[in-house]
Chains A and B, each alone.
Chain A
């Protein structure tokens, strides 16, 4: 069984972003981590292959610096990685999906594709749908439980309010992973060492005839979210506190 896991290198959510230019941010010194939701997909793929045999291939569209991020992905159990290089800081979901499709076709189509439910940086939540659509495959996103049974995948997703959808589909398919699917492993040291020698095949985005500037979604401007002002403690009796709260919401915060 061949499984492709799409991994996006993203800034650690803890990191403080510094803007560069109007629509970019400083990333030359920044250490990018695998998108956390993609890690659930990766873990699921690796444990499936550990049980059933096969190969996990990590596929990334990103800057050349993504190689460092991919080493970590290889340490977690991917057999090899493919990096489609682009200098663009933001590649829109449509072009990313196109690139992923092209590289998977070139490498040989997999039996399953894992992505995260979305990426924590741009949060467009589109790439996996566009990829599935272009490959003509079924997709279930936000999967928190997955079982494979006789060439079929049964995916569970929470739809809110404690309700679950259970969806059965044929393979190949695309699974958008989310928290709850598994606990991504911490790599063993020998695996970290082995990962240093694993193959990362690199190619330019341009060989697939994709022009990053031709995306239909463009980042016009980036702004830093202003720091939230401090919390207010209300005092007095419950009645007084409620009255004050309503006043604050109405007059100060103007949300009512």
Chain B
């Protein structure tokens, strides 16, 4: 027996050193890979207090995973249960090396409470796994990666928890020895195991043998798991918490400004794995392929080859495949991310409408769009590779400052005869109304602008437009990767703004709103920016507009991505509609933060949609299903897309911008 104990101690020492050594070596390598990349991120780890709070809410509170209630609850049970049994496993490991070690000797009362709680938690892990298996084997959601990896993990961890209970069962069945900790009443769940499997009837020798067998199964599986984690998607056990800790704290964000005038830079954007930022790499490590991004992605949902989950997976794969060259600092030999055999094709990269559903729903706060924006930047600036139809759009923006290529000096033609003042004449106003390209040139957009102009006049707002001095806001060029052109547009507008005095910039287009509010500050132009939906609400509150409670029948509101997910404006337009018109409001299934993109964002408005179903048609079907007679949007691009989609359905549903509704609904 003594020989056995010495042998066990020896075997355990070697096994523990080997497994933990391997684990730390792997993790150290992953860390080195993360520290070797060159890309920069515009995310500073500031606001420590808030970040610590985030750890409590998102990680310990598990709030993000529980946005899917059933799967989230299962995850919470597994998370806490698994954490709870770890001290016990640690005690067993120490016991294996130092046989006379007994944790129960130190603080027996606390130890008993701990074991009691851990024993119950372990059972909850099993419930969690039962649901996970049910989900993977019976429900089988299409967005979930149903691979061997996940099943192996469930197997590993189930064995760990089951063997935990068996060890406890054997332990409590052993006769209590005086002077030692008494296990008899601390295992409520394992106690059931002991009775059900007849463990409490075994002889003391058999109990010893059984205990030892399950001991090796338990520790062996844990060590196997430890070795397995760093190379699997379950790296998220280690990376998710730091990833969430370093997450973007604000919803509003800007595309990273690239210093294109820096002549020392040989490349721009994301072309190969060494161009990743550390934040990007942490994102890749943190993903566990839960597929929630894919579930909500409008491109995935309409049959495009893009899946945010797969992008992250493929990037991680490429990073690990080529990490040797990165660590050896042979960065010149690293192959580009987009190459002949890579899964990331042009069709994938350009299918994204930048609607931000993926980022919004990601339980580990990954920022998929940062990858897409930087890759597009690289493709356009360094390779001049982009959908061919965009070339004309780029040229139009460069030559006429609008994507359609209408003569730039006709920008104010939409308001001919409406007596809309120009900034160049007034020099100073309360409100500078940035009409935008759609509002100035597109037939649908022009009607929306005319409605807005009438409302502003009704309310007696002191405003002016820029007219021919206005340039495209740069959003489209930027999201299509043309940072050079975007900065050209932005700088021209910033210079124009600086010539005049005004308090607020008003926009009716969420794209103008977002880029001026969140991205112009990087170019030295920080202004108070307000969208019409908010502004009209303000005018009513101030008593400058009176509503007539027009009955507009059954209405639904279509959230624009750049108002909703990009700027967290969901309530204002709904509140405005509720107080202004007397119709009934219904919500589509996909509304609010889960709103389904119209298909125009991310410069998709100007690209052909040849793959899969058309996104706007899909959205139109959702509108029809809501039973609404009118669909209201707050974006001229959404209005165009929805109108075309509704036409396809053949249904008589009105598509109205919120400005048009408000024009009818106010006196």
Contact = CB atoms under 8 A, between A and B. Distances in A.
Interface stretch (A46-54, A81-89, A186-194): A186-194
A16 B384 contact: no
A189 B399 contact: no
Most buried by A among B381, B399, B409, B484: B399
A157 B404 CA distance: 31
B381 A188 contact: yes
Contacts of A12: 399-400, 405
B400 A188 contact: no
B410 A187 contact: no
Contacts of A193: 263
A187 B384 CA distance: 6
B371 to A, nearest CB: 20
A131 B650 CA distance: 59
A190 B388 CA distance: 20
B260 interface: yes
Interface string A180-205: 00010111111011000000000000
Interface in A167-190: 183, 185-190
Contacts of A225: none
Interface in B363-412: 380-384, 386, 388, 391, 394, 396, 399-400, 405-410
Contacts of B211: none
Contacts of B408: 15
Given A189-B268, A189-B381, 11 more contacts: A12-B400, A12-B405, A14-B399, A14-B406, A15-B399, A15-B407, A183-B388, A186-B384, A186-B394, A188-B384, A189-B483
Contacts of A185: 384
B38 to A, nearest CB: 18
Majority secondary structure of chain A interface residues (helix, strand, loop or mixed): loop
Contact of A186 (B260, B382, B391, B483): B391
B394 A189 contact: no
11 contacts: A14-B400, A14-B405, A14-B407, A15-B407, A15-B408, A186-B384, A188-B381, A188-B384, A189-B260, A189-B268, A190-B382
A31 interface: yes
A33 B396 CA distance: 11
Contacts of A192: 484
A14 B260 CA distance: 29
A230 to B, nearest CB: 14
Interface in A109-135: none
A16 B409 contact: yes
Contacts of B409: 15-16
Nearest to A32: B399
Interface string B327-357: 0000000000000000000000000000000
A192 B484 CA distance: 10
B399 A188 contact: no
Contacts of B407: 14-16
B499 to A, nearest CB: 16
Contacts, number: 42
Most buried by A among B263, B388, B400, B407: B407
Contacts of A14: 396, 399-400, 405-407
Contact of B399 (A31, A186, A187): A31
Interface of B: 260, 263, 268, 380-384, 386, 388, 391, 394, 396, 399-400, 405-410, 483-484
Contacts of B406: 14
A7 B394 CA distance: 21
Closest CB pairs A-B (n = 9): A189-B381, A16-B407, A188-B384, A14-B405, A12-B399, A186-B384, A186-B391, A15-B407, A14-B407
A118 B295 CA distance: 54
A134 B263 CA distance: 45
Contact of A188 (B260, B383, B396): B383
A12 B405 CA distance: 9
Contact of B410 (A16, A33, A183, A186): A16
Nearest to A13: B405
A14 B410 CA distance: 10
Contact of A15 (B260, B400, B484): B400
Contacts of A190: 381-382
Most buried by B among A16, A33, A189, A190: A189
B151 to A, nearest CB: 46
Contacts of A16: 407, 409-410
B341 to A, nearest CB: 24
Contacts of B394: 186
A12 B382 CA distance: 27
Interface in A22-71: 31, 33
Contacts of A33: 399
Nearest to B378: A189
B248 to A, nearest CB: 27
Nearest to A18: B409
Contacts of A183: 388, 391
A143 B403 CA distance: 30
Contacts of B396: 14
Interface in A1-17: 12, 14-16
B536 to A, nearest CB: 33
Contacts of B263: 193
A77 to B, nearest CB: 11
A192 B382 CA distance: 11
Contacts of B483: 189
A75 B268 CA distance: 17
Contacts of A188: 381-384
Contacts of A186: 384, 386, 391, 394
A161 B394 CA distance: 34
Interface in A225-245: none
A183 B396 CA distance: 16
A183 B406 CA distance: 22
Nearest to A192: B484
A76 to B, nearest CB: 10
B416 to A, nearest CB: 13
A105 to B, nearest CB: 34
A193 B268 CA distance: 13
Nearest to A33: B399
Contacts of B405: 12, 14
Contacts of B400: 12, 14-15
B472 to A, nearest CB: 14
Nearest to B400: A14
Nearest to A16: B407
A192 B407 CA distance: 25
Contacts of B382: 188-190
B398 to A, nearest CB: 9
Contacts of B381: 188-190
A31 B468 CA distance: 14
B388 A189 contact: no
A65 to B, nearest CB: 15
A192 B384 CA distance: 11
A16 B405 CA distance: 12
A188 B386 CA distance: 11
A193 B382 CA distance: 12
Contacts of B391: 183, 186
A185 B385 CA distance: 10
Nearest to B404: A14
A31 B410 CA distance: 15
A34 to B, nearest CB: 11
A188 B481 CA distance: 12
B107 to A, nearest CB: 66
Nearest to A189: B381
A186 B477 CA distance: 14
B10 to A, nearest CB: 63
Contacts of A31: 399
Given A12-B399, A31-B399, A183-B388, A189 B410 contact: no
A191 to B, nearest CB: 8
B267 to A, nearest CB: 9
B476 to A, nearest CB: 15
